[in-house]
Chains A and B, each alone.
Chain A
Amino acid sequence: MRRYVARRVGALAATLLFVSLLVFLVIRILPGDPAALIMGTEGSREATERLREAMGLNRPLPVQYVEWLAGALRGDLGRSIQYDVPVGELIVTRLPVTLPLALLAAAFMVVVAIPLGIYAATHHRRSGDYLAMIVSQLGISIPQFWSGLLLILFFSVTLGWVRAGGFDGWSAGVWPALRSLLLPAVALGFFQAAVLVRATRSAVLDVLREDYVRTARAKGLRERLVVVKHAFRNALIPIVTVAGLQLGQLMAGAIVLESVFALPGLGRLALGAISARDLPVVQGVALFVASSIVVINFAVDLAYGALDPRIRYE
């Protein structure tokens, strides 16, 4: 297992290096001068040149990359032009919105999708299975932001149970904060859950057809034990694969839902930074989100090794 982990950590480091390179290159190499972009049409040539000097844009590109990367590794992602504070600090202040939103959505996804997927598989081609498949097919087809709007329309505009958006922060109390995140988390988790239901159903169905499951049933084992101990355990690899991929997508989905529900998270920070031409913030958020997704994928890879020992020895 140690060798497996070491190999995966090496791959993770290389992948993260590529992530940083991609983020850096998009901003620095694509046509256009970052300093001119930030200054806009109203900036004088001298002011643009001063900014270019201050940002270190006159130095060779490899030097700029190494310095930027070294800074990023120390947690220094540069300084926001719009707010005049370190980008890392801005990200940290927005995380208490985006992270709980993604975690709540992930919890919703797992709690709804896995039992429903198992139920559909164990009731194959019966009404419960068809119903689960119809719901999941709908869930996959409805855009997250539209389900968000429909939830606002129903729970906020029609029933008046919750407010349509906004977030007062955790200092206003845990329950009010959770109430603000609940609808967006459901809208975000519903789509992801729909994908996971299908994957869980399909994986459990495959395993239920295996000889060892037939043997377990022939031994007289209770159906519940057959499903939980034999079928589900062995179906975990494809389920974890899809759930892992969905977790990464949750971060991206959170960016959209933050806009629907006016939540001051990372997505809104990045969108605001684009309007303000605050390139260090865009770069910092992109690096943070992309790296988080890569690290989640790495954790999923490690989970494979723990779940199925054959994978470690390949």
Chain B
Amino acid sequence: MASRRPLRHVTFTLGAAITLALLVTAALSVVYTPADPLAMSITSRLQGPTGVHPFGTDHFGRDVLSRVMTGAVTSIAVGLIAVGIGASVGLLLGLLSGYVGGWLDEILMRLVDAVQGFPAILSALLFTAVFSPGMLVSMTAIGIAFVPAFARLTRGSVLELREREFVVAARALGGGDARLVLRHILPNSLPPLIVQATTSFPVAILAEAALAYLGLGTQPPYPSWGLMLKEAQNFLSMNPWFAVFPGGAIALTVLGLNFLGDGLRDLLDPKTT
């Protein structure tokens, strides 16, 4: 049985430490990077790790460490906003569907089923056909892909909570629908949504990287881990390190966030441990 004290929970502590390191790196990159992440140097193209460039340089001679550090900001920003979009739209749909019920529930759930047919990449393809590719397309496409999970989770909680004694009692005391939902149902449906948000965050980071890799997300010259991997692909045989560090940064970040999510789930919901 896992310890319920956060700091004694190995997975949670490890995840929190990696996530903290990510946040510190991102924050640091705003004020300091070892070199200008956009500064090119033709004389130092495609170098392996050296004392001056610990992660080497890319095909334009830019410092990969500085670009990986700056890329953390992109990942965090896209991840947070995408999860925010998915959670808020999903929460709204789930509340409406679960609380109102009837035909509205049927229609909204079919809509949610339909949205589930659009993984982030597919939505991004559609949006990019109409808008220019960029971070906004990434955030929206990833956010939409998260809506079904949040909507279903909220609906499930609302359906259960609606029949609970404290809600029935509040209704009997004359509580209106808005009060019932906002004061009694919503706060009690939040814990599973918080866990869902934590587990969605690493998925968002992976999706952002994939979209940038495909050219549907963050655009050059701004650093994004996925974009760096796309650029590295053409130089695999000349400088394999170019592909190793951005990929490693994604993997380590996602690993840390997964640990954090798993740990949080254990701590908030010991039944699933």
Contacts and interface: CB of A to CB of B under 8 A. Distances in A.
B229 interface: yes
A256 B129 contact: no
Contacts, number: 150
Interface in B199-235: 202, 206, 209-210, 213-216, 226, 229, 232-233
A286 B213 contact: no
B190 to A, nearest CB: 24
Nearest to A30: B130
B159 interface: no
A133 to B, nearest CB: 10
Contact of A259 (B126, B214, B240): B214
Nearest to A275: B215
Contacts of A138: 251, 255
A111 to B, nearest CB: 24
A151 to B, nearest CB: 11
A149 B236 contact: yes
Chief secondary structure at chain A's binding surface: helix
A149 B116 contact: no
B127 A26 contact: yes
Q: Top 4 A-B pairs ranked by shortest CB distance?
A: A18-B114, A252-B119, A290-B117, A146-B247
A180 interface: no
A56 to B, nearest CB: 18
6 contacts: A18-B113, A22-B118, A31-B130, A145-B226, A274-B216, A285-B125
Nearest to A148: B233
A11 B112 CA distance: 12
A18 B110 contact: yes
B229 A146 contact: yes
Nearest to B125: A270
A307 interface: no
Range for the number of chain A residues in contact with chain B: 35 or more
Contacts of B85: none
A252 B125 CA distance: 11
Given A26-B130, A143-B209, A290 B251 contact: no
B214 A256 contact: yes
Given A149-B233, A256-B210, A297-B113, A32 B121 contact: no
Interface of A: 11, 14-16, 18-19, 21-23, 26-27, 30-32, 37, 137-138, 140-146, 149-150, 152-153, 157, 164, 248-249, 251-252, 255-256, 259-260, 267, 270-271, 273-274, 277, 279, 282-283, 285-286, 289-291, 293-294, 297
A248 B121 CA distance: 12
Interface residues of B, number: 43
A141 B210 contact: no
B210 A143 contact: yes
B237 interface: yes
A149 B126 contact: no
Interface in B220-273: 226, 229, 232-233, 236-237, 240, 243, 247, 250-252, 254-255, 258-259
A153 B236 contact: yes
Chief secondary structure at chain B's binding surface: helix
A277 B131 CA distance: 11
Contact of B130 (A37, A150, A290): A37
A290 B118 contact: yes
A152 B234 CA distance: 12
A45 B258 CA distance: 53
Nearest to B118: A290
B128 interface: yes
Given A14-B110, A141-B258, A144-B210, A286 B236 contact: no
Contacts of B216: 274
B28 interface: no
A32 B232 CA distance: 34
B111 interface: yes
A286 B169 CA distance: 48
Given A150-B247, A256-B210, A289-B122, A297 B130 contact: no
Given A26-B126, A141-B251, A274-B129, A157 B116 contact: no
B125 A286 contact: yes
B115 interface: yes
Contact of B125 (A248, A274, A291): A274
Nearest to B205: A143
B256 to A, nearest CB: 9
A251 to B, nearest CB: 8
Nearest to B145: A252
Nearest to A249: B119
A263 to B, nearest CB: 14
Given A259-B213, A282-B125, A286-B122, A140 B254 contact: yes
